[in-house]
Every structure is written in structure tokens, then in C-alpha cells.
Amino acid sequence: MRLFFLLCATAFVSVAKPYNLLVIQTDEHHFKTLGCYGGKIVQTPNIDWIAQHGAIATSFYATTPVCSPSRAAFMSGLYPHKTPVSTNGIPLDNGIVTFAEILRRHGYATGYAGKWHLDGEGKPQWGPARQFGWEDNRFMFNRGHWKKFTDSKDGPQVGARKNGEPNYALDDANEETFATDWLTDKLIDFVNAKKGQPFCYMVSYPDPHGPNTVRAPYDTMYDHVQVPIPRSVNKTRAQTPVWAAKAPKITADTVRILMPKYYGMVKCLDDNIGRILSTLRRNGQLERTLIVFTSDHGDLCGEHGRLNKGVPFEGSARIPFLLYCPGKVPPGTVVKEALSCIDFLPTVTSLMGVQHRLKVDGRNADSLFTQVRGEDWDDIAILRSSKSAEGWLCAVTDRYKLVYAASGKPWLFDLGQDPDEMKNFFESPAHQEIIHRLTGALAGYAKTHQDAHFETPNIAEAMQAVLKAK
């Protein structure tokens, strides 16, 4: 009998042991470069391992597909304009409580390395004074896509310089100084030091954001691959919404030139994530660590004749999101429902069993990841443009995407029939029901969250016309 109670007590202690949280974030990362999302060029076995042993979200979106707004939403669970980081360069409000601060209050050791981009214009600005729950932020820098870092007696610094000023040059960076490797070393040092206590650590890599350069041997690894050219690179003006027509047009030749180095950056990231997983295994931490792999936004990589981000096209707005939570999330779980950055905080804190009283805009999607379904899930996520961009509001589901913009006609994308997003289904009789449903969701969102985009005449008038027509 005594042995029975001893075993029960041991089991209880094991179950009650808190999860660590490790967040791995890349920058401007096209999800299709990863094997788990169908990528064929780059082998990404370590990133894929997270998907295979945890969950993959196939319709996860940047709430605003621009750096700072996306990061603000991810940190806070709030829509970007409420943080009030609606575009790059706006500091996060002092009163914002991040998921790191929640965990710090629960006794977690917290740390952050890499790009922050939530403290205004400082560049690189190491170790911002406002920590937002990240106790060890020595290796956090506010802005920039630096390629080489070094340690000095005065702290970390950018290793490449011109006329005394830091720059983005590769400058012979190696496996000790290249940004991805250097930041991984800082993460590994932290988790090695926290073997006996729960931790929350986030590494935010500046790659694969441009400039498209990477250290050897990754710099030549994909020089001879046949780069796939997106069908939409040469689409016509009639196939292009007004909100997407102003960007500089790029050609298939540009795609062929740029992508090999982009692939090299992705491969370097995957190899370093392999180092992280190996460290957690060796330390006995892996089975009590919730791991999230994601990005702040995508990169069109030539789709629609464009590079970079800022628009609601898939390559720009849809981002990778993988979640490993042993004992709670069944291996091989696929979450198809539409989610966005604001859903991260309530979902992860729920999975970790961490209580908080924050009022957030995001939804707790833990039932989707644990496959313990409760009430029906409303498969709609709301996206919005940054303050400085051509204004637009967007509602997405697993299949459909409806966009109302400050100029031009509304667009409905049907990813089931047109995965390349080259056709507007807004006038299609067969799609009127979904158009009305998504428009109603956008109107409800705009009213509840006081989104100023809804006051834009072209957006408001087009939405009202749909709602009145039902």
C-alpha cells in the first residue's frame, strides 16, 4: 500500500512539473521553403521534426504582415492598432503585458536573443531598457538584419562595420559569428544554465530576410538548383488588385538570382535548430518543453511579381506555425482552421496551464491542437494592413480570403479553385453566401475593435452594400 501511494505521488509530481517554453521565430520566411509545408528544394529535417512530433497549422496568418505590428500582436494577444504598433517604428506601449511577463510572474526564467523591433527607431540598440518580461535581454537588438555578431568586453556588437558604423555585410562571418549561429549559441547557453528551473526563451533570427547572403558552405549549396518560378510572376493587370499594383515589378530572372541564397539561409536555420533540439535532448529538457516555430510574416519570393510582404497574398501573410507539446499535442496533428498571431498568447498559456487575467483579442485554440474538441470553432481570422500601407481589411478561412481595400473593388480568393490567387470570385453567384459571412465577420470585428480602416469610404461602402443585399 505504501508503495502504491509512493508511485502515485511520483506520478503526480511528474505531471505537475511545468512546461518550459521555447519560441523560435524567423523573419520574412516563405512557408513553402520548409519540407513540412511541401518544400522540395531545401531539406529541413529538424524543423520538420517539430511538425511530425507535434502539430502543424496550415492556415496560420500574420495579423498584419509587417514586422513590428505582427510581433506586437504575437507578444500581446491584441490587434496591432491597440498596442499601438500599427506600423514599423512605433514603440510598444508601456502598459502592454506580454506572454513573457505572464510567465515571469509565475516564476519562469525568461530570456530573449535576436531582433525585437518593438522599441521604436533604435538600431541596433542592444538590450532595450524596457524589457516587457524578458529578464535576460542582453542579446536582444531592436532593429536590423545584421549578418555578423561578435562579443566584446562592452557586450555584443555587430561584427561588420564601414566607417565605424555597423552594416549588413557578411564580412567573412563563420560558424561562430554568423548571426544565426551566434544567436543559437546564446540560446543554448541559456537553456544549459536553466536545467533545474522552468524557462521561457525566445530567439528571433534576422534570416531569411534580405539581404540574401549567408556564410559558407550555405552560400553555394543551392547555386545549381532549378528554381521554381511562380505562375503568378507574369500575371496581367486584370488579375491584380489595386492594392497590389503599385509595387515594383520583378521578373523570373530576378527570382532565379535571389532564391539560391534564400534557400541557403533556410538550410542554415534548420541545421541550427537541430543543434537546439540536440541540446534539449541531452539535458533531459525536451519532453517538458513546449516548442513553437514560426515567423513574423512571409516573403512573396517572386509571387505576383513581387518581393517582401505587406499584402494579404499567401506568400506574404501566411506563415509557418509548428507546435510541439509532448503529452498534450498528439504527434502529427494538423490544424487547418484559420489562426493568426493574436491567438498565440491565449493558446500557449492554456496549453501550459498558466493562468492569467489579461483581456486579449486572440482566441484560445488549445482544443484544436490537443484534438479535444469542445464547441464548434468559427473558422475565420481577421487581418489588417499596416498604417502606412494602402489600407485594407481581410477575413480568411482555411479556403477563402476576402479583401476590402481603400481603393479598387473587393476581392474574394478561393484557394481551393485558385491557389495562385489570380482570380477574383467576388461576383461569382456560387460564392455569395461565403462573401456575406466573411463581410459580416469583418463588420463585427471593426465595430468591436474600433478599427479605423472601416471608416475608409471605399471599404465601408462596399461592405455595407454586401450586408444590405442579403
Question: All 3 cell numbers of residue 15?
Answer: 505531471
Q: Given a cut of 90, is residue 309 above it in pLDDT?
A: yes
What is the per-residue pLDDT for 6? 40
Three-state secondary-structure class, residue 392 = strand
Report the alpha-carbon distance of residue 317 to residue 66 in Å, rounded: 9
Res 388: pLDDT: 62
User: What is the pLDDT, as a whole number, of residue 46?
Assistant: 98
Its sign, for the CA torsion 348, 354, 360, 364, is: positive
Beta-ladder partners of 324:
291
Residue 338, judged by CB atoms within 10 A of its CB (0-12, 13-18, 19+), counts as buried
Residue whose C-alpha is closest to residue 300's, from 377, 247, 373, 346: 247
The pLDDT tens digits of the residues spanning 69-91 come to 999 999 999 999 999 999 999 99
C-alpha distances (whole Å) from 416 to each of 40, 304, 419, 450 are 21, 18, 6, 32
Residues in the chain: 470
Residue 378 pLDDT: 84
Instruction: Please choose, from the candidates 400, 404, 431, the residue with its C-alpha nearest in 3D space to the C-alpha of residue 413.
Output: 400
Q: What's the CA gap between 461 and 405, in Å, rounded?
A: 11
Question: What is d(CA 181, CA 273) in angstroms, rounded to the nearest whole number?
Answer: 10
Tell me the H-state helices in 386-450: 432-449
DSSP state of 454: G
Chain-wide mean pLDDT for the chain?
94
Confidence of residue 38 (pLDDT cuts 50, 70, 90): very high
What are the structural domains of the chain?
Answer: 18-370 (3.40.720.10), 391-469 (3.30.1120)
The four Cα atoms 300, 90, 157, 159 give a dihedral, to 10 degrees, of 30
Q: pLDDT band at residue 16, thresholds of 50, 70 and 90?
A: low
In DSSP terms, which residues pair with 412 in a beta bridge?
A: 402
CA distance 425 to 147: 43
Distance CA 272, CA 141 (A): 20
Quote the CA–CA distance of 53 and 360 in Å, as a whole number.
Answer: 29
pLDDT tens-digit map of 189-213: 999 999 989 999 999 999 999 999 9
C-alpha torsion 117→49→189→144, nearest 10: -20
pLDDT above 70: percentage of residues in the chain? 95
For range 246-264, the mean pLDDT: 93
- Please calculate the CA angle 98-332-342 and round it to the nearest 5 degrees: 20
Kindly provide the residue ranges of all beta strands, DSSP E only, lying in 300-453, ordered along the sequence.
321-324, 333-335, 339-340, 381-384, 392-396, 400-405, 411-414
Average pLDDT over residues 329-345: 97
Lowest-confidence segment of 142-151, 284-293, 386-395 by average pLDDT = 386-395
Contact 365, 335 (CB under 8 A): yes
CA–CA distance, 195 with 357 (Å, rounded to integer): 29
Beta carbons within 8 Å of 307's beta carbon, 6+ residues apart: 210, 250, 258, 299, 300, 301
Within 8 A by CB and 6+ apart from 63, the residues are 69, 70, 73, 74, 79, 80, 340, 341, 342, 381, 382, 383, 384
Residue 208 near residue 28 (C-beta atoms within 8 A): yes
Q: Is the pLDDT of residue 7 over 70?
A: no
Confidence of residue 237 (pLDDT cuts 50, 70, 90): confident
For residue 314, give the H/E element and its range.
Answer: helix 314-317
The DSSP bridge partners found for residue 290 are 21
SS3 at position 366: helix
Cis status of the peptide bond prior to 84, with omega within 30 of 0 = yes
| Separation CA 434–CA 79 (nearest Å) | 24
Region 22-44 average pLDDT: 98
- Alpha carbons 293 and 241: distance in angstroms, whole number: 31
pLDDT confidence tier of residue 377, bands split at 50, 70 and 90:
confident
pLDDT interval class at 1 (50, 70, 90): very low
Max CA distance (Å), the chain = 78
Residue 22 cell numbers, joined: 521555447
For residue 3, name the pLDDT band (cuts at 50, 70, 90): very low
Decide if 346 contacts 363 (C-beta within 8 A).
yes
Give the per-residue pLDDT at 360. Answer: 98
pLDDT tens string 425-437 = 999 999 999 999 9
And the C-alpha cell for 129?
A: 531598457
Residues in contact with 401: Cβ distance below 8 Å, sequence separation at least 6, in sequence order = 312, 394, 395, 412, 413, 415, 421
Element (H, E) at 293: strand 289-295
If pLDDT is split at 50, 70 and 90, which confidence band does 10 have? very low
